[in-house]
Amino acid sequence: MSKKKRRTPNLPPDTLLRSRLDALWQPPRLATQPVDQAESDLTAATRGLRPESAAVVLLAAYLAAGPQAQALLDNWLPGWIASQGYASAFEDLLLSGRLAESQAATAQRWLAALGRAVELPAASGAGAFHSAHEIDDGSQAAVSVLWYTTPQRNRARGLQFLIDYNPPWDGAVKDVLVMPSKTPDSLLRRFIDIWAERGQPMTPIGAAEAKRKIIRALEANRAAQIRLSRDLVLARGLICEHILTLPDLPDTPGFTAADFDALSQTGQRAEDIVLFEKTVARRVRLDDGSEVYVDASLANDDFSADLDLSGALDELPAEPGAIEEPFSVDLDDFDDDEA
């Protein structure tokens, strides 16, 4: 009786390369291995692959390797890239906009070390601004800011700030939604146009007006002594790069990254207030200025209440032990071709 041969998985070459690099680029191995041996191992691992395919995997594996391994690789990897004729592949990937921001920055650094600097149009800060929108019913407000994430302006991200005028918030930022990287039209459809479907269309506003409204709300956090929510703290880098760099109006309050950090550390926790509102009651200010407590079972009227929002912060670092976010999004509605 003949024995059946065991079939080995038919894995794509780039998948095999990634697993090999993860093993080759362990810090203890890199720290003790001679450079010529490390270069030889990498040459063998990439043999037969198209340069662009190998380049993408090299970037992904490098960024996942951690600071210690990256420091060791930086000593010889750019030279190996030049010796293998891969520099042109990295240039093509950069100029075609096929790399994520962190990958593009690494590729630019490697090429610059080889004397082949590639200058790309700005894709961060005020120069990357796409659009801003708001909705404000006097009780709550939402302000959205979108920006491009690639020089070709075919991808974008955004932030949507929830502002509550009821006590104890009194105009403070209650939470933030971080939009994933998608095509601009996809983000507009999912995060902006959806408000019109609920009968509350968002209104386009300028970059400076959006910044003023957001900064005033952050100043309200200071006045109300409410600490910034966990989601806002996790989004600090995006806020500093894409909100604080927007142009000012004459009456825009001064606000710096240091001010943001101070609000992240002092005051009552925003999550505690939200938890009370969800489980006990929320305070509502009436038209005559008086305040009433509304039972939590009757007060589910956040702008975010009708949106099934979970996982939009998956690209940001997690913090254990935090309560469930009140303002998040289900990304399953995005078409696969927009990913």
Does the pLDDT at position 121 exceed 70?
no
Final residue in a domain of this structure, among 46, 79, 113: 113
User: Is the model more confident about 221 or about 199?
Assistant: 221
Q: Decide if 5 is inside a domain.
A: no
Residue ending a domain, among 113, 133, 148, is 113
pLDDT of residue 333: 41
Between 97 and 245, where is the model more confident? 245
Distance CA 145, CA 128 (A): 11
Evaluate whether residue 6 is within a structural domain.
no
Average confidence (pLDDT) over 194-198:
88
Q: Per-residue confidence at 336, pLDDT binned at 50, 70, 90?
A: very low
Tell me what pLDDT residue 302 has.
56
Domain count, the chain: 2
CA 204 – CA 111 distance, rounded (Å)? 40
pLDDT tens string 201-247 = 999 999 999 999 999 999 999 999 999 999 999 999 899 989 999 99
The answer to whether 97 and 154 are in contact (CB under 8 A) is: yes
Same domain, 170 and 275: yes
Residue 36 sits in the same domain as residue 160: no
61-89 residue pLDDT tens: 999 998 999 999 999 999 999 999 999 99
What does the pLDDT look like over 247-261, one tens digit per residue? Answer: 999 999 999 999 999
pLDDT at 325: 32
Rg (CA), the chain: 24
The verdict on pTM exceeding 0.95 is no
Q: What is the domain range of residue 149? A: 125-338
Residue after which a domain boundary falls, among 113, 143, 161: 113
Question: Is the model's pLDDT at 263 over the cut of 80?
Answer: yes
Ranges of H-type helices in the chain: 13-24, 27-32, 35-46, 51-65, 67-73, 77-83, 87-95, 101-113, 184-187, 193-197, 207-224, 230-234, 236-242, 257-263, 270-279
Q: Which amino acid is at 125?
A: G
